[in-house]
Amino acid sequence: MINRVVTCRRIGFVLTFMSIGAAASIQRTFAAEPSIVGASLDKTADHAYPVCDAVVDVSKPPYNARGDGQTDDTEAIQKAIYDVMGERKIVYLPNGTYLISKPILWSKKKSNGQDAWGFNTLAGQNPVKTIIRLKDGVFTDTTKPQSMMWCGGFGSADWFHNYVQDLTFDVGRNNPGAIGLQFYSNNTGAVRNVAIVSQDGKGSTGLDLAHRDMNGPLLVRNVVVKGFEVGIRTGASVNSQTFEQISLSGQSKYGFLNQGQSLSIRGILSENEVPAIRVESFTGLLDSKFIGRGNAKSGAAIEASQAAFFARGITTQGYGSAFTGDIISAPVVAEVITGKTTSLFGAPAKSLGLPAKETPEVPWDDPKGWAIVDAFGGDPNGQKDSSEAIQKAIDSGATTVFFPGSYSITKPVIVRGKVRRLLGTGGWLDYSGNSKPDLIIREGVSPVVLIEHFAPINGGIAIETTRTVALRSLETRRLTYAGQGDLFLEDVSTDDLRLSPGQHVWARQLNIENEGTHITNEGASLWILGYKTERGGTLLHSKAGARSEIFGNFSYTTTAGKLAPMFVTEDSSLFAFFNEVCYSGDPFETLIRETRDGVVKVVKRSEGTTTPYVAGPGKN
């Protein structure tokens, strides 16, 4: 990624490719409210891990955090984080209340003084029962807010694969200068299954993603924020952020405030007296419900500036209007688009309405029954070939196979039998790419196979099954999808994704950075919430009756913008709400090339379909 900002040309646009209809600059329609809205934290599901070096339990020696709600555990948690910075390990907090009195910091340096470029995970046992609580009355200065936890970001977009999950941040009482969590990650990374709460409603921001530039791409999913002036705050121009299933309540200024970032959002439930969301830059918003309380009846649920904005499936009640300005006043909004739209063959400026399936889960097994690859002869330091050991673990009859390290692989491992979850701690598989692929997913007992938390799987993954496959929080440079089962990609970085007729793919926070064609959709159904790209080449080539929807996010065009059209569509249907940032002076020259019934039409950048601007050095 580019780490220094020189100049920026940025565009926001809507692309629609269908066979009938007419485009419009603002499309207004109305329908019933969405069925799935807001976060749901599971009070019963405990995520326990086996005892091993890759899982650092803060309640065990040498840290000995008490978690009793009375003892100050600041130093114990801080030492555990410093000790494993960048080590691809999990800092684990068992159920309890961990009292802190000053910010917990993620460091640029590991305890041995070496640089730590990401690969950090903080995980609780249960999002409701594992609580980090700030002492009352310690963050009182509202002019200099402080965060309970600051998760890095050091003037670089190379802070990869960071995670905070399965716990609650509680800012206590009388802490008006408190920020719950300041999170930072690039390419892959997530805040998942987290609550951020203020007991008396006071505080600056619940989740702050605007504390540094270049934050993202990342995913925020299944998060509850209660109280604070602002529930969630985003800003700066890169690198895109994706949100899904968010609950906001009790904010005093805004539920959600976007001051510059490119966002893809789905499933916000907001209950507030203030605007549910304010958007000042490129934002796509789906399937959300905004409930106004008290004085909300005199205002709007959504404050939207002149930035490109797309909304679909929005329900409001208790507000004076859905939007500020003269966009739309009805309480229920099926779809609205602001800004310029592009349609070469007279397609309507509206989305296709593809179904949005949720990423499937599999049960979290008791770790006593996990097959740990080290117990079968695997080398967690990646020095010796672990191919046979991993295969033995998979064939052991266990339903969960655990990888507490990084492993060398020289030949493909077959995922089969009873296995339904392959779980890492952020380690890599086959760093040198000696085996292509590393994992082959074939038929087995479980109808769903979930692979998660690896960075990266360099030899790749081959899907050769009719089963549903979910890939979550991982990087794989090669992904071959030859199966006919559903495929779910959640917080995934890969290259050159190719889809075939009859396949169905749902992606959330998808990052593709290869030079050349990024996705080829030949007759498949593709739904994306948050698509970030990098380098030159066509971002999506659709053909053979393919149907695709892209709800944000943006192209970070760093090289060879003249290499190919941004989107190529041949007798297929595409809806794309998309943005571009280019720091190289070489943005995409051709935005669209569409062929329909042998007729070819092209849209060039110069033909007035975009709204560019130029920004100087530094932040936008």
CATH number for the domain including 304?
A: 2.160.20.10
In 3D space, the residue among 563, 508, 509 whose CA is nearest the CA of residue 541 turns out to be 563
Six token digits for residue 170: 């509680």
In 3D space, the residue among 521, 578, 571, 18 whose CA is nearest the CA of residue 337 turns out to be 578
* DSSP track, 306-340: SS-EEEEEEEEESSSEEESTTS--SSEEEEEEES-
Residue 485 placed within a domain: yes
173 shares its domain with 253: yes
**Three state DSSP letters for 51-65:** CCCCEEECCCCCCCC
Residue 130 confidence (pLDDT) = 98
Least confident residue range of 125-129, 130-134, 150-154, 230-234:
150-154
Residue 360 placed within a domain: no
Six token digits for residue 159: 């802070």
Model confidence band, residue 16 (pLDDT cutoffs 50, 70, 90)? very low
430 shares its domain with 517: yes
Residue 475 placed within a domain: yes
In 3D space, the residue among 576, 540, 613, 509 whose CA is nearest the CA of residue 216 turns out to be 509
Model confidence band, residue 314 (pLDDT cutoffs 50, 70, 90)? very high
- Residue ending a domain, among 306, 339, 372, is 339
| Per-residue pLDDT tens over the stretch 386-442 | 999 999 999 999 999 999 999 999 999 999 999 999 999 999 999 999 999 999 999
Residue 20 confidence (pLDDT) = 25
- Residue ending a domain, among 339, 356, 380, is 339
105 shares its domain with 16: no
17 shares its domain with 86: no
Read off the amino acid at residue 468: T
Residue 525 confidence (pLDDT) = 97
Residue 14 placed within a domain: yes
Residue 326 confidence (pLDDT) = 53
Q: Which of 2-11, 277-286, 302-311, 601-610 has the highest mean pLDDT?
A: 277-286
| Per-residue pLDDT tens over the stretch 134-176 | 999 999 999 999 999 999 877 778 899 999 999 999 999 999 9
Residue 567 placed within a domain: yes
Using CB atoms within 10 Å of the CB of residue 46, give its burial: 0 to 12 exposed, 13 to 18 middle, 19+ buried.
middle
Six token digits for residue 210: 């605007």
522 shares its domain with 433: yes
59 shares its domain with 125: yes
* Selected residue with higher pLDDT from 171 and 308: 171
Question: To 5 degrees, how large is the angle CA 240–CA 243–CA 244?
Answer: 150
DSSP character at residue 129:
T
Residue 362 placed within a domain: no
Residue 111 confidence (pLDDT) = 72
Residue 10 confidence (pLDDT) = 34
Residue 24 confidence (pLDDT) = 27
How many domains, the chain? Answer: 2
253 shares its domain with 114: yes
* Pair 128, 168: CB distance under 8 Å: yes
Residues 191 and 391: their CA atoms lie apart, in Å, by: 32
13 shares its domain with 63: no
DSSP character at residue 358:
P
In the beta sheet, which residues pair with residue 604? Answer: 590
| Per-residue pLDDT tens over the stretch 539-598 | 999 999 999 999 988 888 877 667 789 999 999 999 999 888 887 788 888 888 999 999
Provide the residue range defining the domain that includes 221.
55-339
Residue 184 placed within a domain: yes
120 shares its domain with 201: yes
- Residue ending a domain, among 321, 339, 357, is 339
Model confidence band, residue 70 (pLDDT cutoffs 50, 70, 90)? very high
Q: Which helix (H) or strand (E) holds 392?
A: helix 387-394
Residue 615 placed within a domain: no
| Per-residue pLDDT tens over the stretch 367-378 | 999 999 999 999
| Per-residue pLDDT tens over the stretch 184-212 | 999 999 999 999 999 999 999 999 999 99
Residue 328 confidence (pLDDT) = 56
Residue 424 confidence (pLDDT) = 98
Q: Read off the pLDDT of each residue in 113-121 and give the average, rounded to a whole number.
A: 86
Residue 34 confidence (pLDDT) = 53
14 shares its domain with 88: no
12 shares its domain with 99: no
428 shares its domain with 301: no
Residues 182 and 198: their CA atoms lie apart, in Å, by: 15
Is pTM beyond 0.85? Reply is: yes
